[in-house]
Chain A
Amino acid sequence: MSLYVARSSAVAARALEGEMIVMSTRDSTLFTLNEVATEIWQAADGRTPLEEIVERSICVKFDVEPAAALRDAEECCRKLAAHGILLVSEQPIVPGA
């Protein structure tokens, strides 16, 4: 089953020299995303399946095996979702929903 990911609206984010810094505007918690998480973050539009993001961005850029990359990506997304900065759903995510 495909997963869909979208950036939470309760965050502020900006890339600084290749590092993505994300802050929860609810509790001011700061996160620094690594390169792989940054790729996912930037592609997390709520419409593109995570599997496609992994194949298109991560496998090409980091030369990793798709199945392993998808497992790692799912784990990463669930961690970010647990912190409330990313939304994860089995259905496409409508903005503002």
Chain B
Amino acid sequence: MTHDVIVEIGGTPVRLSTEDPALVEILHDRYAGFITDRPAAAPLQLRIHLVSGLVPGADDVHVTRSNGLWRFERSDFMAEWSPETGRGTVRQTLPNPYSIDTVLRILHSVVLVPQRGFLLHAASAIRHGRAFVFSGISGAGKTTISRLAPPDVTLLSDEISYIRPNEGRYVAFGTPFAGELAKAGENVSAPLEAVFLLAQGPENRRDPVAPAEAARALLRNILFFAEDPGLVELVFRSALDCVSRVPVWRLTFVPDPKIWEMIA
């Protein structure tokens, strides 16, 4: 018997189908808050098959496109997905959430490109109806800034932020992709008010970042795995468009909740 779990992130539903009841339970647990019963007209679909032994593939994620099919692979999974039909299959070795979590990140990073959106290695949160993104490499303070958030802040993610234009404005959406906080974001969205490039330092301060430097920083932190020149160019254009429309600041901070007074 096939079980379907529809996981909707950033308004894009993906139907995950499996015959394994244990995996269904894991998916419900992992993506609680992002699961919808609302049947989409043409949802993206991934049929998950559990296979024994290692799937041939490298330790690193490898993403290629050939004959109209995307292929995402790592040593613990191999996925193929057709952008034409929206359907694909995932072969993974164990009923754990890690493989499908990576597959979903890659899928969304690909699907977002023509929408001029992107997944960003960044924490994000909503306060007073506006979204703020905190970007930086591992150790820059994404989880710390998330932990320091006052109670009226809604966390969208402490690790991977989902950003795309909507009705003329950039909007940040919550994701279930968690970092060190090990806690999914809330499934809500808000217009993106500012991007902060994180740096830990001796005092709290925010300094404006010139668009060119902001673009370079953003491009360094966009999750994009595919080596496809056409899509790389679109990602480039999206990043530059975003920094020309959304203010970017360098946020230097000490681990103190007062930093949030400087944010919003």
Contact = CB atoms under 8 A, between A and B. Distances in A.
Interface of A: 10, 12, 14, 16-17, 19, 21, 23, 25-26, 28, 30, 32
Interface string B183-214: 00000000000000000000000000011100
B232 A25 contact: yes
B232 A16 contact: no
A28 B232 contact: yes
Interface stretch (B43-51, B81-89, B237-245): B237-245
Contacts of B211: 16-17, 19
B216 interface: yes
Given A12-B232, A14-B237, A14-B240, A21 B215 contact: yes
B219 interface: yes
A16 B212 contact: yes
Most chain A beta carbons < 10 A, residue from B219, B230, B236, B243: B236
What are the nearest 5 A-B pairs in CB distance? A25-B229, A19-B212, A12-B233, A12-B236, A16-B211
Nearest to B244: A16
Interface size class of B (residues with CB under 8 A): 10 to 19
B241 to A, nearest CB: 9
28 contacts: A10-B229, A12-B232, A12-B233, A12-B236, A12-B237, A14-B236, A16-B211, A16-B240, A16-B244, A17-B210, A17-B211, A17-B212, A19-B210, A19-B212, A21-B215, A21-B216, A21-B240, A23-B219, A23-B232, A25-B229, A25-B232, A25-B233, A25-B236, A28-B219, A28-B232, A30-B216, A30-B219, A32-B212
Contacts of B233: 12, 23, 25
A63 B215 CA distance: 31
B232 A32 contact: no
B62 to A, nearest CB: 15
A58 to B, nearest CB: 21
Contacts, number: 41
Contact of B243 (A12, A16, A28, A30): A16
A23 B236 contact: yes
B174 to A, nearest CB: 28
Given A10-B229, A17-B212, A21-B215, 11 more contacts: A12-B232, A14-B240, A16-B215, A16-B240, A16-B243, A17-B210, A17-B211, A19-B212, A21-B240, A25-B232, A26-B229
A12 B212 CA distance: 14
Contacts of A16: 210-212, 215, 240, 243-244
Nearest to A18: B212
Contacts of B219: 23, 28, 30
A23 B220 CA distance: 12
B105 to A, nearest CB: 18
Contacts of B232: 12, 23, 25, 28
A28 B239 CA distance: 13
A25 B227 CA distance: 8
Nearest to B210: A17
Nearest to A31: B216
Contacts of A17: 210-212
A67 to B, nearest CB: 31
Contacts of B237: 12, 14
Nearest to A27: B227
